[in-house]
């Protein structure tokens, strides 16, 4: 009887959490899947059950190089551009802040960490101004280096790079904070012993810092991959998925199909489910492929 009462008491404590999760998480998941099996008529709003037709359409576009293939390619290229670049810069800054630049003033450290408090929408507005061909600083800076001005947001060759740079900057503050915490958690006696053995700075970073920082790097890779696959605001503000479809990733395509023009919410829901499966699959691959190489001390 006492066990039953304890169990009931536990359910009572969990009830508010379960109710909130049910309303805002579990029910939308189920409802979205049900919607992915339907098609809404463009005029009149008649809902018709179509089974797996939306998924079949996406599969056909994928294997024939259609729009969905382009969206998947842009998402993967975007992730490949943002994740390694952002983590490498963050780790380099973290090592510098922990050792050679540890005496920097609070203002300099604040300038490095400030992107973490800026929203994606504000980041998009800032970089849209910086990419402006007439008054933007980006073309001014590359002009000082002797290069020709670049049409950052209207060129198919540069638009995705422009969005990548803005996202790397926005995520830099978070990445540096996490990487700096990992660097400062490494026992200084390792470095002292390496100095006695004659190891220079590069050897200490390569053979001590990076291996002992592997749990932090593993965490950063997983979080940054997930965030990159879900990037929307910068693309929406900077390029609207263009020029053409050069910056239309999977999440932006879902937004367009669901809310812009004639809505195809069943088709958009199917894309959302495939994006969720892609994120889960890539996370599993990272755990299987890189998780075993992580050194926990």
DSSP per-residue codes, the chain = -HHHHHHHHHHHHHHHHHHHHIIIIIHHHHHHHHHHTEEE-TTT--EEE-TTHHHHHHHHHHHTT-HHHHHHHHHHHHHHHHHHHHHHHHHHHHHHHHTTTTT--HHHHHHHHGGGGS-HHHHHHHHHHHT-TTT-HHHHHHHHTTPPP--TTT-TTTHHHHHHHHHHHHHHHHHHHHHHHHHHTS-HHHHHHHHHTT--HHHHIIIIIHHHTHHHHHHHHHHHHHHHHT--HHHHHHTTT-STTTT--HHHHHHHHHHSSS--HHHHHHHHHHHHHHHHHHHHHHHHHHGGG----
Predicted pLDDT of residue 134: 80
Residue 291 has pLDDT above 80, yes or no: no
Predicted pLDDT of residue 5: 47
Predicted pLDDT of residue 178: 92
Distance, CA of 62 to CA of 68 (rounded, Å): 6
Write out the two tokens for 30.
């189920």
- pLDDT, tens digit, 9 for 90 and up, residues 197-229: 888 888 888 888 888 898 899 999 999 999 999
Mean pLDDT of 225-239: 93
> In angstroms, what CA-CA distances link 180 with 95, 107, 220?
7, 17, 12
Predicted pLDDT of residue 22: 86
Distance, CA of 281 to CA of 241 (rounded, Å): 25
> 104 pLDDT band (50/70/90 cuts)?
low
- pLDDT, tens digit, 9 for 90 and up, residues 8-42: 666 677 778 888 888 888 898 888 888 888 887 66
Average predicted confidence (pLDDT) for the chain: 86
Q: pTM for this one?
A: 0.88
The proportion of the chain whose per-residue pLDDT surpasses 70, expressed as a percent, equals 89
Return the bridge partners of 49, or none.
38
Do the Cβ atoms of 120 and 232 come closer than 8 Å?
A: yes
């Amino acid at each position: 009887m006492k066990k039953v009462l304890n169990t009931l008491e536990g359910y009572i404590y969990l009830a508010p959490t379960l109710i909130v999760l049910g309303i805002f998480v579990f029910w939308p998941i189920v409802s979205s899947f049900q919607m992915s099996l339907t098609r809404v008529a463009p005029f009149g709003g008649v809902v018709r059950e179509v089974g797996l037709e939306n998924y079949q359409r996406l599969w056909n576009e994928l294997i024939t190089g259609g729009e969905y293939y382009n969206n998947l390619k842009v998402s993967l290229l975007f992730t490949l551009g943002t994740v390694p670049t952002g983590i490498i810069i963050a780790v380099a800054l973290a090592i510098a802040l922990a050792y050679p630049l540890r005496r920097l003033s609070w203002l300099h450290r604040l300038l490095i960490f400030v992107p973490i408090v800026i929203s994606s929408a504000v980041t998009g507005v800032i970089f849209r101004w910086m990419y402006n061909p007439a008054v933007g600083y980006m073309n001014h800076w590359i002009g000082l280096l002797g290069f020709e001005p670049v049409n950052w947001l209207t060129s198919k060759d540069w638009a995705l790079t422009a969005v990548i740079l803005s996202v790397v900057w926005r995520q830099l503050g978070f990445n540096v904070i996490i990487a700096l915490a990992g660097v400062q958690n490494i026992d200084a006696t390792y470095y002292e012993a390496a100095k006695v053995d004659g190891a220079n700075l590069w050897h200490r970073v390569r053979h001590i810092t990076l291996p002992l920082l592997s749990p932090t790097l593993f965490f950063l890779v997983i979080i940054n991959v997930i965030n990159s696959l879900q990037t929307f605001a910068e693309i929406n503000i900077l390029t609207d998925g263009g020029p053409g479809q050069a910056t239309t990733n999977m999440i932006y395509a879902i937004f367009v199909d669901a809310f812009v023009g004639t809505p195809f919410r069943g088709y958009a829901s199917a894309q959302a489910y495939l994006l969720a499966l892609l994120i889960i699959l890539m996370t599993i691959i990272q755990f299987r492929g890189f998780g075993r190489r992580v050194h926990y001390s």
